[in-house]
Structure 1
Amino acid sequence: MSSEQVMLGLGANVGDRLETLAAAVHAIDDLDGVAVQDVSAVYETPPWPPADDPRAVTQEAYYNLVVKAVTNLEPPQLLEETQLLERAFGRDRDREVRWGPRTLDIDLLLFGDREYDSDTLTLPHPRLAERAFVLVPLLEIMPGGALPDGRRLTHLLAALAPIEGIEPVVRLEDLPGRRFERPTGPSAPPASFSRPEFGAPADDPGRQG
């Protein structure tokens, strides 16, 4: 079965945000049929929607990053696996507020050049072009990248200018006790991890959000 490159957006603003994101990246790499290749820096970002939006919910700032991986799973399978991980980290989709606080949020942003739409998943992510907190780390590991419809990520980010409040925090490879070797170029092998133990999650179907 052939593999495709996928981009995943991770965010957390409850509890130890940095530890959650670091553990989640390792958990994604541990999934059968998924191999992490690169990870952006961690960025602290204001909640979305912005505070002046009537849909906004009062909450803490997020830590966000983007993961590049390859997978031989189909989009619905990968969505199911990532939602299992969200639940394992404490997310309860039945009780949460839309756009409210998240222990862990994993969004499927891009899946190769696919355009995909179902009741539970739309690819590319339908709000990708609206979110500077996604585009900034996405451009870091996908320089010169574009959506399947040809829109360049740089143009999408420029349309959101001025970009404010998105601050780099740390690289995961710089954390004590964590080892993540970033690839040095297109021909580099997949990244190498020292993986923490991770328990088996329970089932949690639902739409990405």
Structure 2
Amino acid sequence: MPDTYLLLGGNLGDRISYLAQAREGIAAQVGSIVRCSKLYETAAWGNTAQPAFLNQVLEVQTPLGPAQLLEKINSLEQELGRVRREHWGARVIDIDILFYEDRVLQSQRLTVPHPQLHLRRFTLLPLAEIAPTLLHPLLGKTVRELLELCPDTLEVREYMGGA
């Protein structure tokens, strides 16, 4: 089954509970979770006037194709109460597809690899924890190398509040 890497994040409500519910939903509806990073807390990126996020990266083996995967995770976000009001706004849950195997996809609804992952420390740090040698198919660099080159200076720290 194809390996995909997903980024979970949220900054509203019981963040730990929403991430746990997202993991449960992914395991039930998307595929087998192979590895999970630790939880990381990060100041909001883009729209900075909002609460800090908790983020986590999952490696998932899924029988779903990329478009089906996107539909499932969007549906799961809605089930968990996500409401899309503004770009980069506060939310209870966000699930992004970072990589789908080594495929390069671009459509109106989905771009893989995620087009901004190399610019986001909150994505690269947990991804480097579980897949440091994963190669970005467009940039030709490993996740570890992308983290070392990342221009993002926002603090990303391991969350010590429990999981």
TM-score with structure 1 setting the length:
0.73
Greater alpha carbon shift after TM alignment, 148-157 vs 99-108: 148-157
Higher helix proportion: 2
Distance 1:159 1:88 in 2: 36
2:159 is paired with a residue of what secondary structure? Answer: strand
Residue pairs, 1:128-207, within 5 angstroms: 128-149=117-138, 150-160=140-150, 163-170=153-160, 175=163
Contact 1:41/1:170, CA 8 A, preserved across alignment: no
Residue type of the alignment partner of 1:165 = E
Contact 2:12/2:90, CA 8 A, preserved across alignment: yes
Distance 2:112 2:132 in 1: 20
Aligned equivalent of 2:40: 43
Contact 2:120/2:152, CA 8 A, preserved across alignment: no
Contact 1:144/1:152, CA 8 A, preserved across alignment: yes
1:161 and 1:81, CA in 2 relative to 1: closer, same or farther beyond 3 A? same
List runs of 5+ in structure 2 lacking aligned partners: none
Aligned equivalent of 1:194: none
Counterpart selection for 1:115 from 100, 104, 116: 104
List runs of 5+ in structure 1 lacking aligned partners: 50-55, 176-209
Flag the structure with larger Rg: 1
4+ aligned runs moved over 2 Å, structure 1: 160-164
TM-score with structure 2 setting the length:
0.93
1:85 and 1:140, CA in 2 relative to 1: closer, same or farther beyond 3 A? same
Counterpart selection for 1:72 from 63, 70, 89: 63
Distance 1:162 1:122 in 2: 21
1:68 is paired with a residue of what secondary structure? Answer: strand
Instruction: State the aligned residue count.
Output: 162
Residue type of the alignment partner of 1:60 = P
Distance 1:23 1:72 in 2: 21
